[in-house]
Amino acid sequence: MRRGTKKQTRLVLLCGLPASGKTTFARELADAYDAVRLNPDEWELALGIDPFDEGFQVRLEAAFREITQRLLVLGTSVVLEWGFWARSERDEKREAARRLGVAVELRFLDAPYEELVRRVVARHTSGGIPITESQMGSYRRIFQPPTDEELRLYDPATAHGASGPDGMSSRDIPRR
């Protein structure tokens, strides 16, 4: 809260492939919205968990779902940054937040595939999660980017304008 004005509680979903700038952007949005930022990669790293352990990933995301719901009920905004590669995941989060009367933003971070691969390789050489070019190809094939029609289902962004980190594209939601 700033100077006696309370911002509307909101859920922000960051959608994009690895190395698209989600974490950088999420930090900025968390500051702008006075929000809690939840990132599974950071939790796995802090807990010494293999980031490719699908069983743990499912349990962690279930815990994040409960934490997110509680924070939203308490009036605290949340930024979730686990990629949201499938429309069904995005729909589920949007509908759950709307049932709580919370505004929901979807920020889609997009970058050229070659740039994503370059960043993933650079991140790995500096100690980041070891994602291979082959894995990136698999991720790209299963990723379902949001359509303009889907983006219109979300609330307009009220913080940080329309650009993502490093000048990359972040498609904001058209006003309804």
Residues 1-59 have pLDDT tens digits of: 445 556 899 999 999 999 999 999 999 999 999 999 999 888 988 898 888 888 998 99
**Mean pLDDT value of segment 61-80:** 96
Residues 116-171 have pLDDT tens digits of: 999 988 887 777 788 888 999 999 999 999 999 999 999 999 885 444 444 343 44
Q: Residue 161 and residue 158: Cα distance in Å, rounded? A: 7
Q: List the beta strands (DSSP E) in the chain.
A: 10-15, 36-38, 78-83, 103-110, 169-171
Residue 82 has pLDDT above 60, yes or no: yes
SS3 143: coil
CA 16 to chain CA mean position, Å: 7
Q: How many helices (H) and strands (E) does the chain have?
A: 7, 5
Exposure string of 37-73, with b = 16+ CB inside 10 Å and e = fewer, is: bbbbbeebeeeeeeeeeeebbeebeeebeeebbebbe
For tokens 């309370």, what's the residue? 6
Domains and CATH numbers, the chain: 10-171 (3.40.50.300)
